[in-house]
Structure 1
Amino acid sequence: MESQRNILLIALLLVSYLIWNQWEADHAPKPAVTETAAAASTQQAANNNVDTASVSASDNQVAASKELIHVTTDQLDVLINPVGGDIVRAALVSHKLELNKDEPFVLLEQKPDFTYIAQSSLIGQNGIDSDTKRAAYAAEKQQYTLADGQDKLEVPLTFVAANGVTYTKVFTFTKGKFDVRVDYRVNNTSAEPLKVQMSAKIAQTIKESDSHMMMPTYRGAAFSTTETRYEKYDFDDISKKNLLESTQGGWVAMLQHYFVSAWVPPADETNTLVSAKVGAAIASIGFEGAVKTVAPGETQTVGADFYVGPKDQAALSELSPTLNLVVDYGVLWWLAVPIYQLMMFFHSFVGNWGLAIILITFTVRGILFPLTKAQYTSMAKMRNLQPKMQELKDRFGDDRQKMGQAMMELYKKEKVNPMGGCLPIVLQMPIFFALYWVLMESVELRHAPFIFWIHDLSVQDPYYVLPILNGITMYIMQKLQPMSPTMDPMQAKMMQYMPVIFGFFFLWFPAGLVLYWLVGNIVNIVSQKIIYAGLEKKGLK
Structure 2
Amino acid sequence: MDDQNKNLILATVLSFLVILLWFTLFPPPETAVDPNAPVAAQTEGASTPTVPTLATDAPATQPAAAQTEQPVAEIAPRVEIDTPRLTGSISLRGGRIDDLLLDDYKVSLDEDAPNVRLLAPVGSGDLNADRPYYVVQGWLPVDAPDMAVPDPRTLWSVESGDKLTPASPVTLVWDNGQGLIFRRVISVDENYMFTITQTVENRGDVTVSLAPYNIVARHGIPDSQRIYVLHEGVVGHADGKLTEIKYDKIPDLDVDPREGGPTEKITVNEEGWIGFTDKYWMTTLIPEPGQPFTAVVKYVPTADIYQTEARQPPMQIAAGETARTSMRIFAGAKEWEVIKAYQDNLGIAGFEDSIDWGWFFFLTKPIFRLLHWLHATIGNMGWAIIALTFIIKALLFPLARKSYVSMAKMKELQPEMEKLKEAAGDDRQKLQQGIMELYRKHKVNPASGCLPILLQIPIFFSLYKVIYVTIELYHAPWIGWIKDLSAPDPSSILNLFGLLPWGTPEPGSILFIFSLGILPILLGISMWLQQKLNPAPTDPAQQMIFAWMPWVFMFMLGGFASGLVLYWITNNVITFIQQYAIMTMHGKRPDLFGNIRSGRSRGKPASK
TM-score, length-scaled by structure 1: 0.85
Superposed CA offset, 1:316-342 (max 9, x none): 342522122121122101110000110
Partner of 1:527: 578
Q: Is the 8 A contact 2:231 2:246 kept in 1?
A: no
Deviation, structure 1 residue 394? 9.1
Greater mean deviation of Cα atoms: 461-470 or 287-296: 287-296
Quote the residue 1:359 is aligned against: 387
Gaps of 5+ in 2: 44-50, 57-63, 124-129, 255-262, 492-516, 593-608
Moved more, 291-300 or 330-339: 291-300
Task: Answer yes or no: is 1:326 the counterpart of 2:326.
Answer: no
Aligned partner letter, 1:187? E
Taking the TM superposition and a 5 Å limit, the aligned residue runs for 1:256-275 are 256-275=278-297
Alignment of 1:44 with 2:33, yes or no, is no
Say whether the 8 Å CA contact 1:246–1:273 is kept in structure 2. Answer: yes
Aligned twin of 1:236: 249
Q: Are 2:169 and 2:186, in contact at CA under 8 Å, matched by a contact in 1?
A: yes
Once the two structures are superposed, the pairs formed by residues 212-231 of structure 1 within 5 Å of their partners are 217-226=230-239, 228-231=241-244
The one-letter code of the counterpart of 1:359 is: A
Tell me the equivalent position of 1:119: 136
In structure 1, the residue matched to 2:499 is none
Structure 2 contact 530–572 (Cα < 8 Å) conserved: yes
Secondary structure of 2:163 counterpart: strand
Aligned residues: 524
1:88 paired with 2:98, answer yes
Q: CA deviation at 1:69?
A: 2.1
Counterpart Cα distance in 2 of 1:378 and 1:480: 12
Q: 1:24 offset after TM fit, Å?
A: 9.6
For residues 97 and 170 of structure 2, the distance between their equivalents in structure 1, rounded to whole angstroms, comes to 12
Counterpart contact for 2:94–2:150, Cα < 8 Å: no
CA 1:101–1:535: 2 relative to 1, 3 Å: farther
Per the alignment, do residues 349 and 19 of structure 1 end up closer, same or farther by CA in structure 2, a change over 3 Å counting?
A: closer
Instruction: Return closer, same or farther for 1:333/1:216 CA change in 2, 3 Å cut-off.
Output: closer
Q: 1:98 and 1:23, CA in 2 relative to 1: closer, same or farther beyond 3 A?
A: closer
Q: Which amino acid aligns with 1:358?
A: I
Could you tell me how far apart the structure 2 residues matched to 1:505 and 1:389 are?
33
Q: Which amino acid aligns with 2:318?
A: A
Call closer, same or farther: CA 1:461–1:383 in 2, change over 3 Å.
closer
In the alignment, which of 440, 451, 464 is matched to residue 479 of structure 2?
451
Residues 1:159 and 2:174 aligned together: yes
Equivalent in the alignment of 2:407: 379
Deviations 1:105-147 (A, max 9, x none): 101103558221112112242797779874321114784053x
Contact 1:70 1:143 in 2 (8 A): yes
CA distance in 1, matches of 2:150, 2:235: 24
Matched with 1:345 is: 373
Is residue 68 from structure 1 mapped to residue 78 from structure 2 by the alignment? yes
**Cα deviation, residue 525, structure 1:** 1.6
Most deviating of 411-420 and 468-477: 411-420
Distance 1:132 1:183, change over 3 A: closer
After superposition, give the CA deviation of every residue in 1:23-71 in whole Å (9 maximum; x if it has no partner).
99538xx6432x4xx444x232557722325654459845544612222
SS at match of 2:314: strand
- The residue aligned with 1:536 is 587
| TM-fit CA distance, 1:539 | 12
3-state SS, counterpart of residue 536 of structure 1:
coil
Q: Are positions 1:282 and 2:305 aligned together?
A: yes
Moved more, 266-275 or 98-107: 98-107
- SS of structure 2 residue aligned to 1:520: helix
For residues 148 and 233 of structure 2, the distance between their equivalents in structure 1, rounded to whole angstroms, comes to 27
Structure 2 residue matching 1:513: 3-state secondary structure: helix
Percent identity between the aligned chains? Answer: 28
Partners of 2:105 and 2:69 in 1: CA distance:
24
Would the aligned equivalents of 2:121 and 2:134 in 1 still touch at CA under 8 Å?
A: yes
Relative contact order, higher structure (CA 8 A, sep 6+): 1
Match of 1:183 among 178, 197, 202: 197
CA distance in 2, matches of 1:287, 1:306: 11
Q: Is the 8 A contact 2:371 2:388 kept in 1?
A: yes
Query: Displacement of 1:417 after TM fit?
Result: 3.4
Match in the other structure for 1:26 = 28
1:130–1:480 distance in 2 versus 1, CA, 3 Å: farther
Secondary structure of the corresponding residue to residue 457 of structure 1:
coil
- Residues 299 and 305 of structure 2 are in contact (CA less than 8 Å); yes or no, is this contact kept in structure 1? yes
How many Å apart are 1:203 and its aligned residue? 1.0
User: Cα gap change, 1:389/1:521 in structure 2, threshold over 3 Å: closer, same or farther?
Assistant: closer
Which residue number corresponds to residue 522 of structure 2?
469
Could you say which residue in structure 1 is the equivalent of 2:260?
A: none
Q: Which amino acid aligns with 1:243?
A: E
User: Structure 2: which amino acid aligns with 1:12?
Assistant: L
Change over 3 Å in CA distance of 1:510–1:409 after alignment to 2? closer
Distance 1:431 1:223, change over 3 A: same
Which of 274, 277, 298 is residue 252 of structure 1 equivalent to? 274
Structure 2 distance, partners of 1:355, 1:227, is 37
2: distance between equivalents of 1:494 and 1:537?
A: 26
Q: Is the 8 A contact 2:407 2:535 kept in 1?
A: no
Higher helix share: 1
Out of 121-130 and 371-380, give the one that drifted further.
Answer: 121-130
Change over 3 Å in CA distance of 1:89–1:334 after alignment to 2: same
Amino acid aligned to 1:81: S
Q: Deviations over 1:484-528 (max 9, x none)?
A: 3x13x2332232222222212222111111111111121112112
CA contact (8 A) 1:209 1:217 kept: no
